[in-house]
Chain A
Amino acid sequence: AQKITQTQPGMFVQEKEAVTLDCTYDTSDPSYGLFWYKQPSSGEMIFLIYQGSYDQQNATEGRYSLNFQKARKSANLVISASQLGDSAMYFCAMREEVSGGSYIPTFGRGTSLIVHP
C-alpha cells in the first residue's frame, strides 16, 4: 500500500503567486518525520523542509512552509511568491521506523510544478 500519496501529477502557477502541493501519508507509528524535496531537471534531489510528528508548530523555511494537519495525515507544501526557478518535481517523503531505531524515508510519486511568467 502506498504510504505517501501525492495526488497532483502536475501543477501550474503564475510567477509571484502562492501554490500548495498536496501530500497525505499513512502510518501507525506515533513517531515519524515528513520531508519535502525538490528535483530540478538536473536530477539532484534538494532537501526543502522537515516536520516532526511531535512538532507543535508548522515548519517554515524561507518561502516554504509545511501545512501539517496530523489528524488528517496531511503535510502539504506551500510555496509563497513563486519564482521561475521553482519549476521542478516536488517529492514528499516520510521517515518511519523500520527496525531497531532505524528510520528510513519513503517517497511519494511526486508533483511536477511549472511556474509561468
Chain B
Amino acid sequence: ETGVTQTPRHLVMGMTNKKSLKCEQHLGHNAMYWYKQSAKKPLELMFVYSLEERVENNSVPSRFSPECPNSSHLFLHLHTLQPEDSALYLCASSQDLGLLRGTEAFFGQGTRLTVV
C-alpha cells in the first residue's frame, strides 16, 4: 500500500461513453501525475499538477481532460476515446517537483482501461 489509490481498477467503455478515473492521495504531497502505460511502449507522462495547477501537458489529445480540485485528488475525464487509448493509466504523487532525495513518485495500482 503506497498511499495512492486509484478507482476503478478496471474499466471497459465504448467509444461514445464518458467516464472518469479517480486518484486520491493522503500523503500530503503537492504534485500529482497521470501516466499512460501501453504494451511495448515506455511509460508516457500525460499531465502534471503542482499545488493544483497544471504544469505539464505532454501534447495529450483533448479527449483526455484532467482535473485537480485539491491537492489530494486528481481526475482524468474521458470522452469519445479510441481503441488505441486502451492502456494502464497510472496516477502518481510526489512531495513536490524538486530534485532531491525524497521527491520520488509514489504510484497507485492503475486503472486498466479497455475501449471497445
Q: Closest CB-CB distance, A41 to chain B, in whole Å? A: 11
Which listed residue, B48, B97, B107, B112, touches A44 by the CB 8 Å rule?
Answer: B107
Q: Closest CB-CB distance, B9 to chain A, in whole Å? A: 8
A45 at the interface (CB under 8 A from B): yes
Contact: A32 with B99, CB < 8 Å? yes
B66 at the interface (CB under 8 A from A): no
- Which residues of B have CB within 8 Å of A106? 42, 45
Task: In the complex, identify which listed stretch (A19-27, A62-70, A97-105) lies at the interface while the others stay far away.
Answer: A97-105
Which listed residue, B33, B42, B50, B109, touches A108 by the CB 8 Å rule?
Answer: B42
A75 and B55 CA atoms in complex are apart in Å by 28
Q: Which residue of B lies closest to A2 (CB)?
A: B42
Contact: A104 with B104, CB < 8 Å? no
- Which residues of B have CB within 8 Å of A90? none
Q: A52-B100, A102-B97, A104-B97 are in contact. List 13 more A-B contacts (CB 8 A).
A: A4-B42, A33-B99, A37-B107, A43-B88, A45-B90, A45-B92, A47-B105, A52-B101, A91-B43, A103-B97, A103-B99, A104-B48, A104-B56
Enumerate the 8 nearest inter-chain pairs by beta-carbon distance, A residue then B residue, closest first: A45-B107, A107-B43, A102-B97, A43-B110, A44-B109, A47-B104, A103-B99, A109-B42
22 A-B interface contacts by CB (under 8 A): A32-B99, A33-B99, A33-B103, A42-B109, A43-B109, A44-B2, A45-B92, A45-B105, A47-B105, A47-B106, A52-B101, A97-B99, A102-B48, A102-B97, A103-B97, A103-B98, A104-B45, A104-B97, A106-B45, A107-B43, A110-B42, A110-B43
